[in-house]
Structure 1
Amino acid sequence: MYRFGTTAPAVSKGPPGAMFGVLKAPTVFTRPSAGDRILTTSSGGEAAYVAGARWIAPASVQFDEALSRAFDADPGRARLIGRGEVAKAQMVLRLEVRTFEAAYVNGPKAPPEIIVQVRGVISRTGDRALVGDQVFEAKVKAADNRVGPIVAAFDEANAKVIGDLVGWINAAGAGLPKE
């Protein structure tokens, strides 16, 4: 079993100011990549799972855990607020993981390219106005066509996307009205 989300994303330095709360809606994953199997695709449109290899938990769960750790470690102003927490959220974050796969773009024997693509949508809670809508993507070539290097590339690509997301959310908070 394998894990990703252990590589720490790059730390952002957002604009100074008061902290603001971000309520994260449930992350949406594509069905083929949401579970505990490692999805691969080929240039011919075929999809398969890596035989005998599984994530330690569903990819959707590990993604959310990595995102939470990134916000906890980031010195920026944004703080994730979980459902049921007693705190006011100024923004709502919706994430749609569109691509989370190992793509064999150079044939089945070559190391795959890991692609992580996430669409983020932020809106203000007060007036529900759209603050931002952006797609984040990372592509990382695995060092070898073995499970260990493939998982390491997933970890690197995921960390890049999450780091970009956290920085984007911190920057979006600069436009929030002072409360």
Structure 2
Amino acid sequence: MMCFTRGARIAIMTAVLPLAGCVSVLKSGPPDNLYRFGIVEDPAHEAPIIERDKKPVTLGRVRFAPEIDGDRILTAHGDTVLYIKDARWVAPAPDLFTQAVMRRFEQATSSVRLLPAAARGNGAPLLHLTIDRFEADYRGNAQKSDAPTIRVSGSATLVDSASLQPIASRRFTVDERASASSQSAITSAFDRAVSHYTLQILEWCEVVH
């Protein structure tokens, strides 16, 4: 049975690897289970050859809504949001998501080359990503023990770096059903959802840029 810690009441590619580690030296009891999501870098994968005819895009800061801008795993139960007890992401979710987006572009055969935020100022359009839903949604379940649906939702905006005017914008939503209401099943479903989401961003960038 899943356990949750209560949060504020609001309206609202690869395998997931559990990692053991202490969250705080002041915390008593066993450490939280740590998980990661996203496209894990393959050590055997050769560094891609930079093709000069690819259209460059610079990734801006990936922004998450306040309740998901951290390492806690959010769930939605009716009008109440709860965090999964004794489980966290191995790093803040925005950091893992940024890595997943970068690796999606690096490992794909694409007409677009995604540059890190540090490359800003080279004249390439800017890709701004905002994520407002990143949660395991139990709403609509007949029983509390039913597996949740993982929802990743947000918007992408391509901006001209000189004028800062939007070139194109689109909203994306991915729903991925977990196989069970357990930590491992839920985090695995987050991993699949992020994989589908980053693929949609890649395909959209190829069309609009």
Instruction: Please give the TM-score of this superposition, normalised by the length of structure 2.
Output: 0.73
2:159 is matched with which residue: 115, 123, 129?
Answer: 123
* Matched ranges for 1:7-156 at <5 A: 18-43=53-78, 45-85=79-119, 88-105=122-139, 106=141, 107-156=143-192
Q: One-letter code of the match for 1:18?
A: D
Q: Distance in 2 between matches of 1:29 and 1:47?
A: 16
Tell which structure's C-alpha radius of gyration is larger. Answer: 2
User: The residue matched to 2:179 in structure 1 has which SS?
Assistant: coil
Q: Distance in 2 between matches of 1:133 and 1:85?
A: 22
What residue number does 1:161 align with? Answer: 197
Greater shift in the superposed pair: 94-103 or 72-81: 72-81
Measured against aligned partners, the alpha-carbon deviations of 1:107-164 in whole angstroms (never above 9, x if no partner) come to 4211111000020001222444422110111001100000101011101111111100
User: The residue matched to 1:26 in structure 2 has which SS?
Assistant: strand
What residue number does 2:31 align with? Answer: none
User: The residue matched to 1:76 in structure 2 has which SS?
Assistant: coil
Kept in 1, the 8 Å contact 2:39–2:103? The answer is: no
Q: Distance in 2 between matches of 1:103 and 1:138?
A: 12
> 1:67, CA displacement in angstroms?
0.5
Say which structure is richer in helix: 1
User: The residue matched to 1:110 in structure 2 has which SS?
Assistant: coil
User: The residue matched to 1:27 in structure 2 has which SS?
Assistant: strand
User: The residue matched to 1:94 in structure 2 has which SS?
Assistant: strand
Identity of aligned residues (%): 26
Q: Distance in 1 between matches of 2:187 and 2:127?
A: 27
Q: Distance in 1 between matches of 2:133 and 2:189?
A: 14
> 1:87, CA displacement in angstroms?
7.7
What residue number does 2:206 align with? Answer: 170
Q: One-letter code of the match for 1:88?
A: N
Greater shift in the superposed pair: 122-131 or 58-67: 122-131
Q: Distance in 1 between matches of 2:121 and 2:166?
A: 21
Q: Distance in 1 between matches of 2:156 and 2:132?
A: 10
> 1:7, CA displacement in angstroms?
7.2
> 1:89, CA displacement in angstroms?
3.9
**Higher RCO (Cα < 8 Å, 6 or more apart):** 1
Aligned residues: 164
Q: Distance in 2 between matches of 1:38 and 1:119?
A: 20
Instruction: Please give the TM-score of this superposition, normalised by the length of structure 1.
Output: 0.85
Alignment CA distance shift 1:50-1:146 (3 Å): same
Q: Which residues of structure 1 form unaligned runs of 5+?
A: 9-16, 174-179
